[in-house]
Chains A and B, each alone.
Chain A
């Protein structure tokens, strides 16, 4: 990514057009917001200029995950309704120099945002940033349509659960071909997969059949980092933090292997419990 920075300095790229990627899933609580924050951080750490757009109107969350809640003054609708300049509404991240947040309106309704406005906003952001990551609300109604309106790529998030896979399947059907959807499987627990208690990557993607961008483990540290407002991607020594960086590298076009959580090694205790523990899987 150094080359991008150099190009920027010497102005070799007059008509720059960043990539607008929407993170979506249909179902709520599968990790869209968490993943948006972490991938944004990882991409920014690589030197790319990144803006995160919280499109979850009425349920603003991305600011919390990033630890920026106290710095948010304006939101998407302030920009759309031209009360403030775009620059004023972009909140600089605490940790990553190249990262900005555009917060969602919290005390407003989804239907106050118009699809055409969102499209225009994202187009504007793409002129200034290398990556525009859009955190999509749950559902497939207006909020979803607004969130995908300005994007031209999609990352779909899925957890290894029947309901999540079904919803992703539906969302991918709605997205059609325009968005070239790629898959991130989130919250995988290799131990459970190994014991036949959780859908595996092959189970999930045997059905969805999407290009696999990465697999993120179910990571207890995520709770802690979210409590603190410091995305785990800031800690590359953590395997999950590193996985976000690997996914970011793939997004940036690097030919790196699909990140996978380390295969489950059963502890002696676990082996014994699975032998004698009874109980149904």
Chain B
């Protein structure tokens, strides 16, 4: 019956499917992150996470994946210990002695070269303005690159 009504009022034909496929395929097409940008992004991401847990910087893996209705950035960040992070911030065990005041985690000042997180644009400097819809809250360590 619902199918019948839907047909009468004619919503969501195959054009809706086409539209959705188009949206996704273009999102993937536009994902033109240079390896440099991905590296910067990884570093920034890890800098933030390192404030709370100690991570293995050498084994971080960032990938992009098309999911049902979004494009997701998946970051696999191995956690070494849940205690206070290392003083030198490189995630190696030898430097684990926590600084008492919790300072000096990284030697370099933080740069925010690539934004991550909901609403961030997982692509190179946009060529043109594009429509964007926000949806699906990020799963742990998963940030929709554009959605």
- Residues in chain A within 8 A of chain B (CB atoms): 161-162, 165-166, 169-170, 172-173, 176, 192-200, 203, 206-207, 209, 274-275, 280-281
Contacts and interface: CB of A to CB of B under 8 A. Distances in A.
26 contacts: A162-B21, A162-B22, A166-B22, A166-B25, A166-B26, A169-B26, A169-B29, A173-B127, A176-B127, A194-B10, A195-B13, A196-B10, A196-B13, A197-B15, A198-B15, A198-B18, A199-B18, A200-B15, A203-B19, A207-B22, A207-B23, A209-B128, A274-B7, A280-B14, A281-B7, A281-B14
Contacts of A195: 10, 13
A199 B15 contact: yes
B11 interface: yes
Contacts of A192: 15
Interface string B111-134: 000000000000000011111000
B16 interface: yes
B8 interface: yes
Nearest to A206: B131
Residue from the set A162, A192, A203 with the largest chain B CB neighbour count within 10 Å: A162
A274 B10 contact: yes
A140 to B, nearest CB: 13
B110 interface: no
Interface residues of B, number: 22
Contacts of B26: 165-166, 169, 207
A255 B16 CA distance: 33
A199 B19 contact: yes
Contact of A196 (B14, B21, B22, B29): B14
B21 A275 contact: no
A196 B12 contact: yes
Contacts of B7: 274-275, 281
B131 to A, nearest CB: 6
A177 to B, nearest CB: 9
A166 B131 CA distance: 15
Nearest to B127: A173
A193 B29 contact: no
Contacts of B10: 194-196, 274
B8 A275 contact: yes
Please give me the 7 A-B residue pairs with the lowest Cβ-Cβ distance, nearest first. Answer: A196-B13, A281-B13, A197-B13, A162-B22, A196-B15, A203-B19, A196-B10
